[in-house]
């Protein structure tokens, strides 16, 4: 049957940790401790990548790169990345348990998808040791996928490489890329889905791309909320997303729409970077 049979979710900013603040706060802290101030926006740009790759991408940003050279009178090297990552890992592991609350509508939506016979997979930019904390906390609060994997199991080839999606498909016995949806909240998530040839979907409210915590979002006026949603949608579309949803509540309806497209022979677009 030509219908969606699996959904692969990202974690922070998608199903848990509204606004994806656990890693952002730590990135800012480790750079500050190294004598280089970074902004929240700079810390968010590479979000979704393997965290060591994320740190390297930040160091390669022109402004941060110049600040690093001014601080140390030299270009950064692999040792610098390793030392920053070591600090990042220890700080994140100490705080991750506080960031495992499911986003609104996630638990209910996943139950509805399972009742329809869909498999639930996941990919992440976290490591195995980080995910043991996240999965345990999320499970206690009602969210547990059928399968999870980190770049630790793909030779450290995280997003935007498609390998974690392929491993999900293998483990969950999903028969074809066009029968799979990948949902995430960052540019790296969208590119991961596109590179795997699956339907690539951005979720807007609670995303790292939007960059607001729950209270900040709820304090916006209706006009401000609509503008924030519009801006985030435009960003996802600019990355090449096949679709966007405002919240997880819209996912079952989107799946029905995609199933109709599949019946007509439509396939997800395979785009390169």
Q: Which residues are catalytic?
A: 10, 51
Nearest Cα to 209, choosing from 229, 183, 181, 192? 229
- Dihedral angle over CA of 223, 226, 227, 232, nearest 10: 160
Cis peptide before 160 (omega within 30 of 0): yes
113's CB contacts (< 8 A; 6+ apart) are: 7, 120, 251, 252, 255
Max Cα separation, the chain? 62
Annotated binding site for Mg(2+): 10, 12, 185
Distance from C-alpha of 147 to C-alpha of 11, rounded to nearest angstrom: 12
261's CB contacts (< 8 A; 6+ apart) are: none
Distance from C-alpha of 174 to C-alpha of 30, rounded to nearest angstrom: 40
Annotated binding site: 10, 12, 185
């Amino acid at each position: 049957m030509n219908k969606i049979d699996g959904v692969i979710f990202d974690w922070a900013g998608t199903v848990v940790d509204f606004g994806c603040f656990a890693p952002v706060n730590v990135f800012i802290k480790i750079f500050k401790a190294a004598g280089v101030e970074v902004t929240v926006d700079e810390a968010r740009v590479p979000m979704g990548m393997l965290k060591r790759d994320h740190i390297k991408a930040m160091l390669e940003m022109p402004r941060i790169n110049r600040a690093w050279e001014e601080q140390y009178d030299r270009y950064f090297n692999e040792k610098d990345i390793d030392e920053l990552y070591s600090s990042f890992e220890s700080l994140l592991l100490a705080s991750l348990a506080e960031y495992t609350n499911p986003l609104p509508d996630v638990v209910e939506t996943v139950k509805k998808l399972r009742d329809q016979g869909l498999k639930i997979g996941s990919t992440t930019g976290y490591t195995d040791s980080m995910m043991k904390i996240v999965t345990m906390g999320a499970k206690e609060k009602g969210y547990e996928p059928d399968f999870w994997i980190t770049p630790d199991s793909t030779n450290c080839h995280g997003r935007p490489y498609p390998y974690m999606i392929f491993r999900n498909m293998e483990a969950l016995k999903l028969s074809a890329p066009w029968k799979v949806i990948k949902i995430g909240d960052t540019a790296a998530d969208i590119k991961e889905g596109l590179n795997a040839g699956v339907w690539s979907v951005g979720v807007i409210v609670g995303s790292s791309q939007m960059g607001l915590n729950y209270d900040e979002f709820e304090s916006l006026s209706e006009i401000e909320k609509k503008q924030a949603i519009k801006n985030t949608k435009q960003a996802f579309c600019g990355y090449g997303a096949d679709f966007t949803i405002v919240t997880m509540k819209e996912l079952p309806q989107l799946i029905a729409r995609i199933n109709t497209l599949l019946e007509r022979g439509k396939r997800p677009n395979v785009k390169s970077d």
